[in-house]
Structure 1
C-alpha cells in the first residue's frame, strides 16, 4: 500500500505544529470545550465531549460556506463518505465505508425518511433541502440499538432549527448556477434557485416558522442533443437527450413549537414535489396526415410527491423524562408517458399512472431518569414501524405469488423495544451498554447490541471505544423481483434472511486552547466493520437455462484508519484529514467465487477559511482527493466465468467561494465554483490488462466545473 507523500505532508505538518504548540502551553491554563451539543444516540442532549459515541458535526456555517442547497451539495467533501450520482434517474445516494445506501440510515430530527425501498435507506440526497438546518450529526459504525434496522455502517441525523435569537427572522435567497458550461438565465439551462424562510418568536412559549424553496435544474447535455434534437448529419452518433436529467423541485415546510418549563412540543410538516423529464435518445419518423413527416420520440415524465408529518413531545411525567415522536410519511411516484413531436413541439397519447407508493406510520419514544443517583442514567425505549409499499410493473418486474399479478402490494411491520444505560464509573470514565429486540412481521425476530466506553485522560486527551451489532432487512427488489421469460430467469427470494453487521471503533482526541487564541483539535480513529449473510444475486441453476436468484451468500469486512486535525487562530480556520480503508468482499455466484483479500484505498480532505475583517469578507476553499479504488467484477462470459480485478482511477473535488456581507450583515453575496478540477467522468479499467478485459469504461461522477452566485437578504428584528 502506497500513499502519495503530497497527501501526507499537510497532515504531518499540522501534527508536528500541534505537538510543538502543546509543548509550550502553560499547564495552569484550563481548556474550555467548544459549545457543541449533540442529540444523536444520546439519552439526553449533551456536549460532544460527554458523548460516549464519536460524533462528527457539520454546522450551519459549513453549509453556508459551501452554498449548499441540498444534501448532495455538501456531503462529497467529508471523509469515508461518497456521493453516488445516478444521472439516468436524476438521483444521488450515499455510501459509507464502501457500503451503499442500504446500510446507512438518514434521519431528520431522529425520524428516518421515507424512500423508494422503505425507511431511512437509499435516500435521494437531492430531495433533502438545507434551508432550515441547525447542524448535521454523523456517527460511524453499527447503531442498531438506538436506530433499528439498516443502521449498519452509520447514521446521518439532520437537526432542524426550532428557535430564533430574534423576534422575527426573514431570509430571502436567489441563486443562479451554471451546470458545467451550460447556462441561460432566461431558459431551461443552468440551475435556478429561489427560497424564502420566515421565523417568528410569538412569545416566550410559542415559535413558528415557514419555508419554501424552488430548485429548477435544467439538466446537463454533456454532448447529447437535448430536447429539440432530431439528427446531426455531421455527427450521426450524437443522440438526443440529457446526460443528467432535467428536474424541477419544490420544497415547503412549516413548524410550530410550544415550550414551557420542562415541556416542549413541536409539529413539523413538509411537502415535496418533483418533476423529472426523460427525453428518449431514440428518434423516429411518422407521416402525420395534413402535416407531413414529423420526427418524434416516446418521452416520459416522473412525478414525485412526499408528505412528512412529525409530532414530538418532550417533558416529565411521574418524575421521568420522556421523549415521544409520531410520524406519518407518504411518497407517491407517477409516470406520464407520451409521444413528443419535435418540430411542432406537441404531445399526444399522454397517459399517467402511479408506479410506486410508500406509506409509513412510525413512532419512537424513550423514558429516562429512572434513578436519581449521580452518574447513572437508564433509558427504556420503543419503536413502531408500519410500512406499506406498492410497486407496479412499470418500475421493474415484480410479482406477488399470493396475489397472482405483476403488481406488488406489501405491508411490513416491526415492533421494537430497546434499552440503554450511561454509567459514570468515575469522573473520567463512562460506560454505555445497550440492547434492542425487534419483533418482525416478515422475518425472524432480530436483535442489536452495543457497548461504548469513554475515558478522559490527562492533558485534554479523550479516548473512546465502541462495539455495535446491527442488522439489515432485505429490500423489495431482493424479495420480490420476478423477471422470467424465454431468455431470462431472475427472481427475488421471499425467504431471505436479514444481514447482520458488527462494528468496532476506537478513537483518541485532544483539544487544546491557548492564551493567544489558538485552538487545536486532533483525533485518530481506527474502525472495523463486518457483514455476514450478505445478499447477492447468484446463479442457482444452469439447465435448461441460467437461473438467477438473490440468496444470503456474501461476506464483507472493512478496516479503516483515519486522522483529522483542526486549526483555528484569529481569522483563520483550517481542517485536514486522511483516511485509509481496506475492504474484503467474498462473493460466490454459484459458478465462480471472488478473491477475499483486502483491497485498500485512501481519501484526503482539507478546507481553509479566512475572514478579511476590514471588508467583512469570507474566503473558503474545500478539497477532497479520492484515491484509486480496486474491486472485483464478474466478466460477461458464461462459458468461462471469473472475477477480474478492476481499478477506478483517483480523482479530486475542489470547491471555492467568496462571501461578502453588506449593510451590517443584512445582505450577503456569495460567489463561488463547484468542481474546480472539472471532473465529469472517471475511468474504470481491468488491472494488468487481463485478457477478459472489456476495455476502459467511464463512470459519470459530475457535470464539470460550475459557477454560482447566491444573494441572501436577512431581515432580523
Structure 2
C-alpha cells in the first residue's frame, strides 16, 4: 500500500497541472533549448529528437563533486551502479540487465576494456574532468549503435573548444572513506591539471592529467602490515591509484571540423591476502609472510573525427579509433617483519585491442521534411585471456572477432506535429551468423500546449563476450567453461513517453513526463549445469543460451525550474521475469517488481555566488528467481537509500571554486541478501557490501581564463 501511495503522489501532479493549464489560457509551454548529438542526424535541440534522451549536465557533475561515472549514476532512475570491494571495479545495470547489455561511448565511439567493447565498462576508470555533458538513451539502439546496445546507451560528450584564449584549471579534492581519514594515509585524494589554448581562430588544443589515490577502506581489517593469522589482514575495499591523461587538437573552419583525441589510463589495485603464514630459514630465522598480488591496468584511446559537408550539401561524420586495454597480475611474497617483497612474478592476464571506425552521411534532399542517413561501422577486435585448465595449467588464448555493419534510417516530417524515423542495420559477423536490427520511432508534438508524445519499437542483439566464448576455470572440483557454439541474444523493446512543458508567469518552467516500456531478451546466455563427470562425480558448468528475460517499466518524473532553483521528483516501477529452462525444474515466468524513487533540489544564491544541492535515491527491494538444487529459489536484496548534499561557492571573480559536501548521508554500507526456497521454509542470508558509509569531501578548483 505504501508503494502505491508513492506512485500516486508522483503521477497525480501531472494531471493536476494539466487541469490547471486548461484554466489559464495565458500560460504557454516552453523548453530550454538543449543541444544533443546522440543518435541524431546532426546536432539539434532536445525537443526535436525523436528519441527520449536524458541529459546529465556539467552542473550536476560539479554539484556532486563527482570524480568518476559511478558517483553520478547512483542518482538516476532505472540505473544501478554496482561496486565490487574485492576487485575495485564498478559496473552499471539498466532495467535489471547488467553491464553486458548497456553500451558506454565517448564522443560516439564505444569505450574498450579488457573484457569488452563498450560493455562491461568499469565506471571507476572514467574520469569526468574533461566532460561537457552525458546523454542517455534507454531501450534497444541496435540500428544506430550496433551490437550490445540492448538496454540503452550512454554517450559521454567531451569538451572540444574554449571561449577564451587560455584556460587553466587546477583541482584538488580530499574525501574521507567512511569515518576513515588521515592525511596522505587514509582517504581519497584527487589532483588534476588541465590547460587549453586557442592558437588562433581555427586551432585549439588542450592537455590534462588527473590522479586519484584511493587509500582503501579498512572497516574491520587491519591493513597491509598486520602480522597475526586471524583473517583480519588487508582491506575491506581494495586500495587503488589511477592516472588519467588526455590530449586534444581541434581544427575548425566554416562547416568543417576535425579533431584528434588521446586518452591514457594507468591503474594499480593492491590485493592483500587475509591469510598470514609462517616459515623459517637460516637467513631470516622465523618469519611471517603473505602471498599478495597487484593488478595493473593500462588503456590507450586514440580517436580521430571529421565532420563537415561534401559537395557543399551532404553532411558527413567520420570517426576512426584505435584502442588497447591490458591487465597484468603481479604475484609476490610480502615479508611482514622486514616489509620487503620477493618472488615477484608479473603475467599478462587479459587484453583487448580494437580498431573501430564508423561514419554517416545525410542531407541528400533539399526538402526539410524528409532526409536519409546512411552509415557504416567496422570492428576488428583481438582479445586475449589466460585460462586455467586442469592441474593448474594456464593456457593463453588469443582470438579475433570482426563485424562489418551497414545501416540506414530516415526522418520523415509528415506535418509540423508528426515525425517518424524508421531504421535498419545489417551486421556481417566473422564468428556468428549475420545479424539484423530494426527500429521505428514516432514523435507527435502540440507546440502551443507544450505537449510531446514519443513512441518507439526496436530490436537489437548481443554477441557473446570473449569470456562466455573462451574462458576456462578448471581446478579442485571446479569446472566452469565457455562455449564457442553460443549464438547472439535477440532483444525487442517498446516505449511510449508523454511529456508536458509549462511556463508559469514567464519565470517557472514545469516539466512532467509519464513513460512505460517493455523489453524482451531471447536466447539469453547464462552459466548452467551441463552434466556430472562420470569419473569424479563433480558437477560441470558451461555458458549456454538458456534464458528468456522480460521487463516492464512504468515511470513518472517531474521538474520545476526557474532562474535560481531546480526541484525534481521521479519514480519507476520495474517488473522482471526470467525464465530458466532446465531438465529437472519447471520454468517460472512470474514477474517480480521493485520500486525506484529519486529526487533532487538545487538553489543558487546569486549575490553570494553559492549553490546548495541535494540528491536522493531510493532503491526498493529487488527479487529474482534462481535455480536451486531441486526447485526455484527467490533471491531478495533489501531496500537502500542514497543521499548526497553539497555547497558550492565561487570566489575572486569566479576564479576559485570550493565545494564541500557529504556523500552517502544515509550511511549505507551492507544490505541483506536472502535466498528462500519456493516450496519450503528454508531461508539462507548473506550481506552485500554496496558502500563504505558516510563520506565527507572538500574540493578546491582554480580556474584562470584570459
TM-score range, shorter chain: over 0.9
Any idea what SS the aligned residue of 1:49 has? helix
1:3 match? 3
Given that residues 398 and 408 in structure 1 are in contact (C-alpha distance below 8 angstroms), is that contact kept between their aligned partners in structure 2?
A: no
Cα shift readout 1:291-315 (whole Å, capped 9, x = no counterpart) = 3322110000111110000000001
The whole-number CA distance in structure 1 between the counterparts of 2:12 and 2:700 is 37
Any idea what SS the aligned residue of 1:696 has? strand
Aligned-residue offset at 1:665: 1.2
Q: Is residue 506 of structure 2 the alignment partner of residue 505 of structure 1? A: no
2:666 match? 677
2:429 match? 440
The correspondence for 1:492, drawn from 471, 482, 489, is: 482
Cα shift readout 1:174-207 (whole Å, capped 9, x = no counterpart) = 00000111111132x1000001111222222111
Aligned-residue offset at 1:322: 0.8
Given that residues 520 and 568 in structure 1 are in contact (C-alpha distance below 8 angstroms), is that contact kept between their aligned partners in structure 2?
A: yes
The correspondence for 1:459, drawn from 425, 441, 449, is: 449
The correspondence for 1:426, drawn from 399, 415, 425, is: 415
The correspondence for 1:347, drawn from 316, 333, 341, is: 341
The whole-number CA distance in structure 2 between the counterparts of 1:513 and 1:452 is 27
Aligned-residue offset at 1:2: 5.7
2:403 match? 414
The correspondence for 2:654, drawn from 643, 650, 665, is: 665
Q: Given the two structures, how large is their TM-score scaled by the length of structure 1? A: 0.94
Aligned-residue offset at 1:688: 8.2
Any idea what SS the aligned residue of 2:571 has? strand
2:246 match? 253
| Change in 2 beyond 3 A, CA 1:479/1:69 | same
Between the two proteins, the alignment pairs up a number of residues equal to 700
Given that residues 643 and 665 in structure 2 are in contact (C-alpha distance below 8 angstroms), is that contact kept between their aligned partners in structure 1?
A: yes
Aligned-residue offset at 1:26: 3.8
The whole-number CA distance in structure 2 between the counterparts of 1:9 and 1:609 is 24
Aligned-residue offset at 1:151: 0.2
Cα shift readout 1:609-647 (whole Å, capped 9, x = no counterpart) = 111233221111100000111111333x4xxx2221122
Cα shift readout 1:334-360 (whole Å, capped 9, x = no counterpart) = 111110011211011111121111100
| Change in 2 beyond 3 A, CA 1:2/1:406 | farther
The whole-number CA distance in structure 2 between the counterparts of 1:471 and 1:13 is 37
Aligned-residue offset at 1:687: 4.9
Q: How is 1:180-579 mapped onto 2 (pairs within 5 angstroms)?
A: 180-187=178-185, 189-231=186-228, 236=230, 238-318=231-311, 319-393=313-387, 406-457=395-446, 459-484=449-474, 487-542=477-532, 544=534, 545=537, 546-579=539-572
The whole-number CA distance in structure 2 between the counterparts of 1:382 and 1:230 is 59
2:700 match? 711
Q: Is residue 603 of structure 2 the alignment partner of residue 610 of structure 1? A: yes
The whole-number CA distance in structure 1 between the counterparts of 2:12 and 2:165 is 46
Mind listing any 5+ residue stretches in structure 1 that lack a counterpart?
none
* Worse-superposed segment, 412-421 or 604-613: 604-613
Cα shift readout 1:368-410 (whole Å, capped 9, x = no counterpart) = 11111121110100000000011113xx5599xxxx9821110
Cα shift readout 1:653-691 (whole Å, capped 9, x = no counterpart) = 000001111112111111101110011100011358974
Two-structure CA RMSD over aligned residues (Å)? 2.0
Any idea what SS the aligned residue of 1:64 has? helix
Any idea what SS the aligned residue of 2:61 has? helix
Q: Given the two structures, how large is their TM-score scaled by the length of structure 2? A: 0.96
Mind listing any 5+ residue stretches in structure 2 that lack a counterpart?
none
1:123 match? 121
Aligned-residue offset at 1:10: 5.5
Aligned-residue offset at 1:11: 2.4
The correspondence for 2:66, drawn from 53, 65, 68, is: 68
| Change in 2 beyond 3 A, CA 1:427/1:619 | same
The whole-number CA distance in structure 2 between the counterparts of 1:18 and 1:567 is 12
Q: Is residue 102 of structure 2 the alignment partner of residue 104 of structure 1? A: yes
The whole-number CA distance in structure 1 between the counterparts of 2:475 and 2:67 is 45
Aligned-residue offset at 1:20: 6.1
Give the 4+ runs in structure 1 shifted more than 6 A: none
Given that residues 415 and 439 in structure 1 are in contact (C-alpha distance below 8 angstroms), is that contact kept between their aligned partners in structure 2?
A: yes
Any idea what SS the aligned residue of 1:614 has? helix
The correspondence for 1:91, drawn from 89, 92, 97, is: 89
Cα shift readout 1:208-260 (whole Å, capped 9, x = no counterpart) = 1111100000111121121111228xxx4x52111111010000101111111
Given that residues 449 and 468 in structure 1 are in contact (C-alpha distance below 8 angstroms), is that contact kept between their aligned partners in structure 2?
A: yes
Given that residues 391 and 398 in structure 1 are in contact (C-alpha distance below 8 angstroms), is that contact kept between their aligned partners in structure 2?
A: no
